[in-house]
Structure formats: C-alpha cells, structure tokens
Amino acid sequence: MIRAAKGGLFGRVVDGYVGWKLRSSFRGLWVRGQLPRGDDARLVYMNHSNWWDGFVLHQVGRAAGWDTYCVMEEQNLERYRFLARIGAFSIRRGEGASSLETLRYAGQLLKKPRAAVGIFPEGELRPFGVLPLRLERGVELLARVGKAECLPLAIRYAFFEHERPDVLVEVGTPHPAGALARFQSELESAVRRLMEVTSLEGFTQVVSGGRGVAERWDAVRGRAPSA
C-alpha cells in the first residue's frame, strides 16, 4: 500500500495548492452544524459525488483543526502520488490482504490525537441525492478497528443566485461504531437535509472563494459614492 507522507516543504506546497485550487474554483465553502474539535480522533465518512470531495475534506479538516487523512484507490493515488503529502493513503479494493493492511494502518492513524480519517463508503462516484446510498462494509470494519467516534458529512455543490458554485457541507450526528445500517441511516439523513437547501441561510463560511462578475460590479458601485 501507499502510506501517507505528510509534512516537509513539498507537503506545505501541496497544502497551499489545494487551498488555492478550491478558492479559485468556488465562491466559498460553507458548513452547517458543529464540526467537532479537540484532541479526539474520528472517522469521517461522506457521500461521493464529485472529483472535488477529497479537497473539500482537506479544507474542512483545516477549518476544524484536524490532522486529516483519506483513503484512496491505489491506482488513483499512484497517478497523483503528491496527494500522499496531505494525508492520502491507499487501498486495493477486492484484495483481502491489501484491505486488511489498510484497515490496520487506518486503525493506527486513529490512535493519534486530532486524527480524522476520511472514507467514501460508496466506493464510487454517484450523483448527489440518489437514494438509497449503497455503502460498502469497509466503513463499518474501519470503525470497529479504530474504535473512534464516527462523523457523517454530506457534501453538495450548488448554484444559487451567483455566478460561481458554492460547496455545502452538512455535519451529521456523531456516533460510535456500529452496524452498516447505522452508517447508511446517518449519512442519508444528512444528504436529505442538504437536498432541501435553497439558500445559504444557516451556513457558516469556512473558506472564502472567488467573486463573480456581478459581485465585483456591485462592489465597485458600492464604493463609487465615496470615491
């Protein structure tokens, strides 16, 4: 397997690049609900509808003060090995020995203070809002091995009245390890709440992004009287 290799000058460069990439592509990253903080480790599991999801986890983790890691398909991490510098580590799905090695490694990470190990239990990209979710058992096994708090996050990419899209994150209810049905129920509940959102009311911006033409023009007009 490919293990995470966080830190160092290259790690700081990649960290900065991910933040710049998200800020330059979206209007902002918004969170509704309370992100857990403190020294406790946690398993963070999310729906997977977009290429951006791992970068979103990275930025949410920075906002919450987590030491963030993320499980990634080995063939993809092999192509983008630099992502190991911000906490990505690999799994070869369908290979028992590889899955076991990854589970053990993730369990070790979850013993570290502030560690947040992210996983996309659908195992593949699926359009946002397609229910029921189809979760694989890896999230259940990892939770049992890690013995850490489990936190569902729902992610949605939405256009409202602005030129650029916004990234919305719904924080679900933390819970202990349990049966796969518990993970599915909690994540689906968070996804359903996010499906109903029609504005940014109730959300807190944790990363600011780029403004569209209309917003820049409004800013210019707002300054005009005092110029």
Residues 6+ apart with CB under 8 A from 176: 143, 149, 150
For residue 211, the tally of other CB atoms under 10 A from its CB is 16
Residues 6+ apart with CB under 8 A from 63: 29, 31, 35, 206, 207
The percentage of residues in the chain with a pLDDT greater than 90, rounded to a whole number, is 85
Q: In Å, how far are 89, 94, 124, 192, 214 from 135, measured between CA atoms?
A: 20, 15, 10, 16, 41
Mean predicted confidence (pLDDT) in 32-43: 95
Q: Is the pLDDT of residue 128 over 70?
A: yes
Sorting pLDDT into bands at 50, 70 and 90, what band is 224?
Answer: very low
Q: Is the pLDDT of residue 173 over 70?
A: yes
Coil, strand or helix at 168: strand
Q: What is d(CA 33, CA 39) in angstroms, rounded to the nearest whole number?
A: 19
pTM for the model = 0.91
The CATH label, of 3.40.1130, 3.40.50, 2.60.40, 3.30.70, for the domain at 8-226 is 3.40.1130
Coil, strand or helix at 154: strand
What is the per-residue pLDDT across 4-29, written as a single tens digit (0 to 9) for each?
999 899 999 999 999 999 999 999 99
Listed in sequence order, the DSSP H helices in 120-212 are 138-146, 180-195
What is the per-residue pLDDT across 90-114, written as a single tens digit (0 to 9) for each?
999 878 787 899 999 999 999 999 9
Q: Which of 54, 69, 55, 51 is nearest to 1 (CA)?
A: 69
The whole-number pLDDT of residue 226 equals 32
How many Å separate Cα 131 from the centre of its chain? Answer: 19
